[in-house]
């Protein structure tokens, strides 16, 4: 089943409650892009805002930690979110961090930058719930989709299926009605979408249209 997680980074922070309400009916969760200004060249938001979002909604909160040393903050994130994804490129002891995330009661994921090979995940794949493939270079919203993503999704799907893993395959960056069906056919089942949802005149309808593109061909 296809899932859409709107990225709150693309929302209007001056009217955040209304923005959350605008997607709550159709979205399968809300994606939180946590950037530290070190691992990626941007800063986003921290625990006060995350706590406020959690206090406002009981929806699935999906935290994507684009930061170095994420293990220092896992306990605090786990108080508010449902899922924590860390970057392969940002951690040294990945298995230890994935195990800790699960021990804290959250779904555990690993993310790959566009030019990090899928083959690097072979040993960690049995332990993760999800893999997030970046289809843009992380750090900013509204970037152009990189076509190399299609092949990466296929490789990950084939790797997971060969071993019998039910890995959630996520694509983040530049997802639109023009490429979501092909990404789904390649093996992705969850999509992080920001600007094309929150910058539309009807965010709820934008989510429905994305799902319709895929489901109408099933």
Q: Which of 203, 202, 186, 185 lies closest to 194, judged by CA? A: 203
The set of catalytic residues is: 33, 172
pLDDT of residue 44: 95
Cα 142 from Cα 137, distance rounded (Å): 11
- Residue 184 C-alpha from the chain's centroid: 15
pLDDT of residue 215: 85
List beta partners, residue 192: 5, 172
pLDDT of residue 97: 98
pLDDT of residue 140: 65
pTM equals: 0.95
pLDDT of residue 49: 97
| Regions of the chain short of the pLDDT cut 70 | 139-143, 217-218
Tens of pLDDT, residues 119-173: 999 999 999 999 999 999 886 666 689 999 999 999 999 999 999 999 999 999 9
pLDDT of residue 218: 54
Is domain 3-215 classified as CATH 1.10.10.60? no
**Which run of H or of E encompasses 83?**
strand 83-87
pLDDT of residue 177: 94
């Amino acid at each position: 089943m296809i899932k859409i997680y709107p990225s709150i980074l693309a929302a209007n922070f001056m009217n955040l409650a209304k923005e959350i309400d605008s997607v709550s009916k159709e979205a399968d969760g809300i994606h939180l892009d946590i950037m530290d200004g070190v691992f990626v060249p941007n800063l986003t938001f921290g625990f006060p805002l995350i706590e406020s979002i959690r206090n406002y909604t009981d929806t699935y909160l999906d935290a994507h930690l684009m930061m170095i040393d994420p293990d220092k903050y896992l306990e605090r994130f786990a108080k508010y979110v449902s899922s924590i994804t860390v970057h392969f490129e940002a951690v040294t002891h990945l298995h230890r961090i994935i195990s800790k995330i699960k021990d804290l009661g959250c779904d555990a994921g690993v993310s790959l930058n566009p030019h990090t090979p899928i083959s690097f995940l072979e040993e960690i794949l049995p332990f993760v719930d999800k893999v997030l493939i970046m289809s843009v270079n992380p750090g900013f919203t509204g970037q152009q989709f990189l076509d190399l993503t299609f092949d990466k999704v296929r490789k990950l799907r084939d790797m997971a299926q060969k071993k019998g893993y039910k890995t959630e395959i996520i694509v983040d960056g530049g997802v639109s009605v023009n490429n979501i069906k092909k990404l789904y056919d390649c093996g992705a089942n969850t999509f992080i979408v920001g600007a094309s949802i929150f910058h539309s005149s009807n965010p709820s309808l934008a989510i429905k249209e994305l799902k319709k593109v895929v489901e109408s061909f099933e």
